[in-house]
Amino acid sequence: MPPTLPSTPAGRSAAADLTTLEFDDSFTRSLPADPEGRNFVRQVASAAYSHVTPTTVSAPRLLAWSDDCAALLGLSRPTQAAVEILGGNRLAPTMRPYAARYGGHQFGHWAGQLGDGRAITLGELTPSGGRWELQLKGAGPTPYSRTADGRAVLRSSVREFLCSEAMHFLGVPTTRALSLVATGDTVVRDMFYNGDPQPEQGAVVCRVAPSFVRFGNFEIHASREENESLQRLADYIITQHFRDLGTPSPEVYARWFAEICRRTAVMLAHWMRVGFVHGVMNTDNMSILGLTIDYGPYGWLEGYDPAWTPNTTDLPGRRYAYGRQPDIASWNLARLANALNPLIESVPALEHGLEVYADAFTRTWRGMLAQKLGLTTLDRPGDEELVRELFGVLQQTETDMTLFFRGLARASASNIEPLVAAFYVDGEPSETHRARLVKWLGQYEGRLQVEAMPADERIARMNRANPKYVLRNYQAQLAIDAAAQGDVSLIERLLSVLSRPYDEQPEHEDLAQRRPEWARHRAGCSALSCSS
């Protein structure tokens, strides 16, 4: 049974069915196509994409739907014919599906051609001046599937669906998710990479973004010295998505690179603000629009720990740990700079872009941190020290980042009660911990007095920067476990609660608690493999 969905919110204009909407194809019209039309794994030269249609599935069934994302597209709730499209069994007449060609630096090394190995873009919708690509993830093999099957399992699809939407509502730049469809087919995965592959339920997510182009789309052209294709791709992206920059020219390419750097910095500052760890910041997972893209073994910081990575594959080097993300983004931008060098041909211009990144990150993160603390600035004497000591206090004992910052608005040196729920060791904090915390709170209170902001205003301001609800890893896992048994109610509940992450929702207090101990070492709850 498909889930029953609430009726369309009042005040929204009449929405259309996916089967009848007119799709645009600006990407395929503007860019060089792979001339080979057959679907087999291969190295592709010069082209930006290959035409490929989704492979059919046995029994597509709608598991989840984002009303908010649908409203963006002017889409009505899906009929079964629309679900057939969302599962990959059918195309609307104006869809021209394709898989994009890209490469990437994975874990610091050039990996050559990667490409959409299991993602297929169906087409572009252009409601009221916008442009949104609809892309199926898990839709079957493409020329870029390498040795893999082109499919996705239910667990990773639930995670991508929920986290895309949760990030959007947190105000973090991100690709969106429209639907989650069970395929009715099984997919075999060696989830623990221990030589014990198991069948799992398959699923397809329909994700939505103005563009899914990554740094790696440029890198692949540059790596093969395909300068004409490189320029066409740059011109297309600038014309469609950076229109304000003007007609492409070497000077405009330089300004465009700086703008990508700026947007990436803003995205990273948001990740740090909400405690999001992407887990696989390879250059093929970096959006040219500065959107969070490709939700795989991501995780949310629970105990504050800059060295934490959710990705078991990343454990040896912790390259993609929480605290390293800003530097890794800069490293990735430097790879993009190399790829764009044939267009810009100015080392100072590329260096300037990287400086823009560093400045924008520092400024944005500082501003967000000030807001998290209820301060208007962190530029006063002593502020640097106040912040350094705060992060020291947070690491003295395992402290839930989300709960600590949320509780801070109501805590004081004489009342640490609002913070106690954040400590993973139950009971009274140790003497030394309490003393250091209280001392810091005293300094913090002194600093607040300098601002002289009314308490109500300060608390409201802090609550807008410090979410009450984030998609805790164990909650996603519980939603997956239930969905695997045919119960999608927790997916629906999480989607609904996470659509108001800054609001108090007293009836959902249980979703704003620190991770239970049983989840500490359970697969999917604190550590994830890349298997998906």
Tell me phi and psi for residue 339, to 5 degrees: -65, -35
Distance CA 337, CA 332 (A): 9
Residue 296 touches ligand AMP, criterion: CB under 6 A: yes
Distance CA 70, CA 467 (A): 24
Hunting for tokens 């001046």 — which residue is that? 129
Nearest residue to the partner Mg ion, using Cβ: 294
Which of 113/285 has CB closer to Mg ion?
A: 285
- Active-site residue among 284, 294, 314, 383? 284
* 3-11, 68-76, 269-277, 290-298 -> range binding Mg ion (CB under 5 A): 290-298
Which tokens belong to 169? 């509502």
Closest contact distance (angstroms) between CB of 285 and ligand AMP is 5
Write the binding mask 250 to 289 for Mg ion: x where contact by CB under 5 A, - elsewhere: -----------------------------------x----
Hunting for tokens 């994009």 — which residue is that? 100
The DSSP-derived string for 177-227 is EEEEEEEEEEEEE-TTSSS--EEEEEEEEEEEES---BHHHHHHHHHTT-H
Nearest CA among 480, 483, 476, 473 for reference residue 515? 473
Which of 212/236 has CB closer to ligand AMP?
A: 212
- To the query of whether residue 25 is one of the catalytic residues in this protein, the response is no
Write the binding mask 254 to 283 for ligand AMP: x where contact by CB under 6 A, - elsewhere: --------------------------x---
Alpha-helical runs (H) found in 184-314: 215-223, 227-241, 250-274
Which tokens belong to 417? 């009660």
Pick one of 34, 67, 116, 302: the residue that binds ligand AMP (CB under 6 A): 116
Residue 160 touches Mg ion, criterion: CB under 5 A: no
**Long-range residue pairs from 193-196, CB within 8 A, at least 24 positions apart, any chain:** 193/312, 193/529, 193/531
Closest contact distance (angstroms) between CB of 341 and ligand AMP is 24
Residue 367 touches ligand AMP, criterion: CB under 6 A: no
Residue 294 touches ligand AMP, criterion: CB under 6 A: yes
Residue 148 touches ligand AMP, criterion: CB under 6 A: yes
Residue 112 touches ligand AMP, criterion: CB under 6 A: no
Residues in the chain: 532
Which of 117/306 has CB closer to ligand AMP?
A: 117
C-beta separation of 408 from 418 below 8 A? yes
Closest contact distance (angstroms) between CB of 97 and ligand AMP is 15
Query: What does each C-alpha distance from 345 to 228, 250, 254, 493 come to in angstroms?
Result: 15, 8, 9, 51
Residue 285 carries which DSSP code?
G
Which of 207/472 has CB closer to Mg ion?
A: 207
Pick one of 101, 105, 151, 472: the residue that binds ligand AMP (CB under 6 A): 151
Task: Identify the bridge partners of residue 299 per DSSP, sorted by sequence position.
Answer: 277
Residue 41 touches ligand AMP, criterion: CB under 6 A: no
Contacting positions for ligand AMP (CB under 6 A):
114-118, 144-145, 148-151, 280, 284-285, 294, 296, 530
Contacting positions for Mg ion (CB under 5 A):
285, 294
